[in-house]
Amino acid sequence: MKLNYSVNPNPEKTSKAMGRELRISQKHAHEISRTIKGMKLDDAKTFLENVTTLKQAVPFKRYNRDVSHKRGMCAGRYPQKAAQQFLLVLENAEGNAVYQGLDPEKMRISHIATKKGITFKGTFPRAQGRATPNKHETVSVEMILEAQ
């Protein structure tokens, strides 16, 4: 399955990166992408590192049913696995910017989108007394950094 970017930015001022078929929650991916959109590159990296070390929570605005409030903010959680995957995609975009000759300190996340990926089934027959098959949801993340 070929994934294309949903926007066509100016190639002289932007760098792109995509994480395909990441095994993270689609809801967590949506909330993280909504939070870091528009952030500077360094701010987004420190935010994601703080989420993985449980120092800062991600505010949940859309998928917040039965989510408790965190100190100083609304409902939030610490999606560590998703934050680590987002950090890898962000570092990939930073590397692409350096390769293109752009200054990563002046870059800002101008576009970020998450798309539902395929659902993997296990490689083995799974019945053996179980009623449901073993499935894994995946998410594809596209990120575009723009020079300011």
CATH number for the domain harbouring residue 51: 3.90.470.10
Copy the structure tokens of residue 95: 């590397």
Could you tell me the pLDDT band of residue 119, with boundaries at 50, 70 and 90? confident
Element (H, E) at 147: strand 139-147
Check pLDDT > 60 for residue 124. no
Burial of 18-36, coded b for 16+ CB within 10 Å and e otherwise, reads bbeebebbbbbbbbbbbbb
SS3 assignment, position 16: strand
Please check whether residue 20 is in contact with residue 1, taking contact to mean a CB–CB distance below 8 angstroms: no
**Within a domain: residue 4?**
no
| 41-52 vs 80-99: helix crossing angle, rounded to 10 | 150
Better-scored residue on pLDDT, 138 or 133: 138
CA distance 13 to 4: 19
Q: What is the pLDDT of residues 27-80, one digit of tens each?
A: 999 999 999 999 999 999 999 999 999 999 999 988 888 888 877 788 998 999
**Within a domain: residue 5?**
no
**Within a domain: residue 3?**
no
- pLDDT score of 72: 77
**Within a domain: residue 107?**
yes
Domain count, the chain: 1
CA distance 17 to 47: 19
Whether the model pTM is above 0.95 = no
- pLDDT score of 65: 85
**Within a domain: residue 29?**
yes
**Within a domain: residue 21?**
yes
- pLDDT score of 26: 93
Please check whether residue 132 is in contact with residue 57, taking contact to mean a CB–CB distance below 8 angstroms: no
**Within a domain: residue 57?**
yes
**Within a domain: residue 127?**
yes
- pLDDT score of 130: 64
For residue 106, give the DSSP letter: G
What's the farthest any 2 CA atoms get from each other in the chain?
58
Supply the range of the domain harboring residue 142.
14-147
